[in-house]
Homo-oligomer: A and B are copies of this chain.
Amino acid sequence: MLNFSVGPVMMEQETLRIGSEQIPYFRTEQFSETMIENEVLLKKLTHATEASRVIFLTGSGTAAMEAAVINIFNENDKLLVVNGGSFGARFKEICDVHGLSAEELHLNFGETLKSEHLEKYDRKGFTGFLLNVHETSTGILYDMNLVKEFCERNQLILVADAISSFLADPYDMSEYGVNATILSSQKALALPPGMSFVLLDEKAQERVLQNKVKSLYFNFKNYLADGLRGQTPYTPAVGVLLQLRERLLAIEHVGTDKTIEKVAYIAQDFRTRMKQLPLELAPGSSFSNAITPLRPTGEITADRICNYLRDDYQIYVCPNGGSLSKVLFRVGHIGAITIDDNRKLIEAFLDMQKKGLL
């Protein structure tokens, strides 16, 4: 099996080795030390401020998106949500479910966020800004410096979902002025799915402490308090957190820049090789290194390409859902993927082409 999906992705041998070990009891000093190390390393790798804290939430990325929104904002806020695809739409849906006032900055398929989009919302009384650094459904990577300037001049609390961008594209929480960053285990961290992480700067923490949250499981106050001694309020995915420590140490050892460069290199290699194929890059001028969104130029639809690759070559790429299912599919470049794996994928495409399927 070769997995070019966007998560869960292929894991390193050391991660798998830890996955084969018994999980220890976790209400211990030893596990607390691991958790405190995880917090320090996640802060370092995201360039969070010294005073930032990390919430370790057992759940999918959506759980962390929802928990971040309801812990940081309330009915006095007016939020601007960038909706350039299904994950932007999800942020809006979360706001709606909780009765939070949220306006959508809608981008068309493949459209990049520009200053003219943002200028319309200047001095309109917004208090918060929600976006997905990389809109995973289309591959578009937003310009965080643009977002930073807009949020600074309007004094907005900035909540960024960096789930599929972290460790694939440069990310600097301090430089971008991000108040809360949402991460998940199964993307470029290349761990099993099940854990999500929310980094909170001082301002976000203040909001969390003042806010009244109508949830027990999602109440960050309890996580902040227990986190001081390296624990969580409820049993976390202990195994994934042990794998996280190993991964973070390995990434720190290599360096975040080098880790990102590797993903960029794999992505660039694939994008160069695919030029010989009847596939074209989806519209857009700025893509994440995490994935390459592709449109078939022949008669075959995108979903059928995904099915052929799976059935005939045991290669998994990422189909799109909903209205994009026939016109778009995505090839991931995160996880334990190599240039040789790219070569195998291209060979499969060429073979399909030879058979008249592509």
Q: Which A positions have Cβ atoms within 8 angstroms of B?
A: 1, 3, 5, 7-8, 10-11, 16-17, 19-28, 58-63, 66, 90, 93-94, 97-99, 184, 186, 192-195, 214-217, 219, 233-240, 310, 316, 318-319
Nearest residue, chain B, Cβ from A195: B194
Q: How far is the CB of A316 from chain B (nearest CB, A)?
A: 4
From B21, B58, B99, contact of A59 by CB (8 A):
B58
Inter-chain CA distance A17–B16, complex, in Å, is 10
Nearest residue, chain B, Cβ from A11: B22
Q: Which residues of B contact A16 (CB under 8 A)?
A: 19-22
Inter-chain CA distance A239–B185, complex, in Å, is 13
Q: Which residues of B contact A316 (CB under 8 A)?
A: 24-25, 28
Q: How far is the CB of A23 from chain B (nearest CB, A)?
A: 4
Cβ contact within 8 Å between A236 and B193: yes
Asked whether A27 and B319 contact (CB < 8 A) given A3-B22, A59-B58, A192-B237, the answer is yes
From B60, B99, B194, contact of A217 by CB (8 A):
B60
Q: Which of A5, A21, A23, A24 has the most CB of B within 10 A?
A: A23
Cβ contact within 8 Å between A235 and B319: no
Nearest residue, chain B, Cβ from A232: B60
Inter-chain CA distance A11–B217, complex, in Å, is 26
Cβ contact within 8 Å between A7 and B61: no
From B60, B97, B237, contact of A193 by CB (8 A):
B237
Inter-chain CA distance A22–B11, complex, in Å, is 6
Asked whether A237 and B194 contact (CB < 8 A) given A8-B26, A20-B16, A22-B1, the answer is yes
Cβ contact within 8 Å between A237 and B237: yes
From B66, B192, B193, B235, contact of A215 by CB (8 A):
B66
Inter-chain CA distance A186–B22, complex, in Å, is 12
Cβ contact within 8 Å between B8 and A216: no
Q: Which residues of B contact A216 (CB under 8 A)?
A: 62, 66, 90, 93-94, 97
Q: Which residues of B contact A239 (CB under 8 A)?
A: 8, 19, 192-194
Q: Which residues of B contact A66 (CB under 8 A)?
A: 215-217
Inter-chain CA distance A309–B302, complex, in Å, is 58
Cβ contact within 8 Å between A59 and B238: no
Q: Which residues of B contact A310 (CB under 8 A)?
A: 28
Cβ contact within 8 Å between A234 and B63: yes
Cβ contact within 8 Å between B62 and A217: yes
Asked whether A24 and B7 contact (CB < 8 A) given A98-B214, A193-B238, the answer is no
A-B pairs with beta carbons under 8 Å apart, 12 shown: A3-B24, A3-B25, A8-B25, A8-B26, A16-B19, A23-B186, A28-B316, A58-B63, A62-B216, A63-B63, A99-B214, A193-B239
Nearest residue, chain B, Cβ from A318: B25
From B8, B63, B219, contact of A238 by CB (8 A):
B8
Besides A16-B19, A58-B193, A97-B216, 12 more A-B contacts (Cβ < 8 Å) are: A1-B24, A8-B24, A19-B20, A23-B193, A58-B63, A59-B59, A60-B235, A62-B234, A66-B215, A66-B217, A184-B235, A186-B235
Q: Which residues of B contact A62 (CB under 8 A)?
A: 216-217, 233-234
Q: Which residues of B contact A219 (CB under 8 A)?
A: 97
Cβ contact within 8 Å between B59 and A217: yes
Inter-chain CA distance A137–B272, complex, in Å, is 59
Q: How far is the CB of A223 from chain B (nearest CB, A)?
A: 12
